[in-house]
Structure 1
């Protein structure tokens, strides 16, 4: 599917020479199951030409379609520009772009707009192939803007590595809007026997919301599915999660959802001083082990 999409982008681009677009159509139409005779007639080429470019693509990918272009020298780009393309590709796009990762076209536009460097998206695609760069498959890391970032990280990581003696550390999170096509039991069934039936009940109606708690010390997981995510349902699950640990100090690691700080939740915490909340830094829920 990814190769077909890449070929369609190639053959439909106004930046690609006609001969390369023809070669791309040969490969694309072959992949769609068209007969080589029909492809040759439609494109006005010989049968050996069809076979040749199918073979070149199978051996070298898109780069194989660029060879032997009469009078068609490759786009000449200075080494410093190539290095800049590679460097930007490996970075998360600036916040103002609204992008989670670069595409060849967006990177070409960005270079032109911000650095007055003109390269085609086709050139960028070739650099990515040669350097084996796949920004759409690369995870990104966003630095939190929480002013208390360092203190919160030390607090949460400290609980995981060296919890207070005799205390219980629970890591709680919620997966929202689980579609009916998703797995109905996304966490290994430790205490999930009753959860699976609830999930089936909810997904019949479209979506469900999973609440899960990991006991950091034992690895035990408990969970519950609810039709909606709100402070009331969170508090109900919280009570269920802490109930087996009556009489102990309980430390709960959470992210910064508003449902975790409703007036009802704060009132319950005030009446249960043995339970302590520890919030991950803003924009850093990845710290939460659950």
Structure 2
């Protein structure tokens, strides 16, 4: 039978972890892990902690072992979600410095197909940068290689 690693906290560590567990500004995951560490320091088993907090025993074990190894509670890696792969600068550059095939200006659909992102993402990037090529009767393509930086400076004002 495996036994959970023992956790001993100094007075300062206990104070810091208590503050994390009751803070309104920390994430739920950090607050939960802080409570697990506090209960583990009181000598409770993983099963007792899991039952008291109404969570799985595996989660208690994982949190306890990460703390024992020395990984800080706040430094735990975020879970889930995709990494952002949208290159907004490239979309702005394509919009302002190129023309689509067989068209006079870019639409959200045509830009999304070329850049490999969703139409909504193109729409958000255009809105953030003040671009409206779909509403212009005539749209001039800028040949300035530093146009994106200048646009960001003007929109940022």
TM range (shorter): 0.3 to 0.5
TM-score calculated relative to the size of structure 1: 0.23
Structure with the larger strand share: 1
Larger CA Rg, structure 1 vs 2: 1
Which structure would you say has the larger RCO, counting Cα contacts within 8 Å and 6 or more residues apart?
2
TM-score calculated relative to the size of structure 2: 0.41
